[in-house]
Amino acid sequence: MTFLVVDTPSSYNAIIGRPGLNLLEAIVSTRHLLMKFPTRFGVGEVRGDQEVARRCYKTAISDKGKGKVLSIANMELRGDMGPERPQPVEDVLQVPIEEGNTERVLQVGSQLGEAEKEELITFLRDNKDVFAWLAEEVPGIRSEVMVHKLSVDPARPPIRQKKRNFAPERQQAIAEEVSKLMQAGFIQEVHYSDWLANPVLVKKANGK
């Protein structure tokens, strides 16, 4: 749910429209100042206050603030709205995990003291076996640590999507990624007669 943040006085903290309420699967009763919505743990409730609601309503319909124009320019609500990746607060040094191997490097802060820096680098190199650089180097992860599943409502019928045609470079990227995951044993080929979803390509931070 994307919110538009406006720097102006208001009697409301947030205004959620019908699309947002549909996303929440919420049921709203304005008479009872109550909103209910489903959660993993049961039915969630948000209750309002009659006095506060009355004050907000009076403030919203009063003449206060009329005549003020708040200009909003260059606002694009569509497209890539993803958050920016956090950047280091200091310059970092590229340290190879193994002497002479420039392909596998770690980053350490440049403002560390010499003793701390040497201690950290030694510690990282002594425990280099915990780092995975390729998918083949992660043979398996216990389900107690991490598991991936499709959050599918069993009451919903499966859907077979129409096959989507991709551009040649995208088709090659899909084939390479699928082949890499199959060789690593992460995925396996199965056949569904009534369920099919097209692959979705997501651009990484490095542009690939």
Give the start-to-end residue ranges of the domains of the chain: 1-74, 92-131, 153-203
Q: Look up tokens 């280099």; give the residue.
A: 128
Q: In sequence order, which residues have a C-beta less than 8 Å from that of residue 99 and are 6 or more positions away?
A: none
Per-residue confidence (pLDDT) for residue 36, from 0 to 100: 93
Q: How confident is the model at residue 107, as a pLDDT?
A: 86
What DSSP element (H or E) covers 181? helix 168-183
**Segments of the chain with pLDDT less than 70:** 63-85, 88, 139, 193
For residues 25 and 35, the answer to whether their CB atoms sit within 8 Å is no
Question: Where does residue 65 fall: left (phi above 0), alpha (psi -120 to 50 degrees), or beta otherwise?
Answer: left
Q: What's the pLDDT at 86?
A: 72
Strand-pairing partners, residue 189, are none
Q: Where does residue 91 fall: left (phi above 0), alpha (psi -120 to 50 degrees), or beta otherwise?
A: beta
For the entire predicted model, the pTM comes to 0.38
Residue 75 is predicted with a pLDDT of 52
Indicate the Cα dihedral angle 62, 67, 70, 73, nearest 10°: 140
Query: What is the dihedral angle through the alpha carbons of 99, 102, 104, 108, rounded to the nearest 10 degrees?
Result: 80
User: Given this model, what pLDDT does residue 163 score?
Assistant: 80
pLDDT for the residue numbered 44: 92
> Residue 38's pLDDT is what?
93
Q: At 199, is the secondary structure helix, strand, or coil?
A: coil
Dist CA 43 CA 40 (whole Å)? 8
Q: Say if CB 37 and CB 24 are below 8 A apart.
A: yes
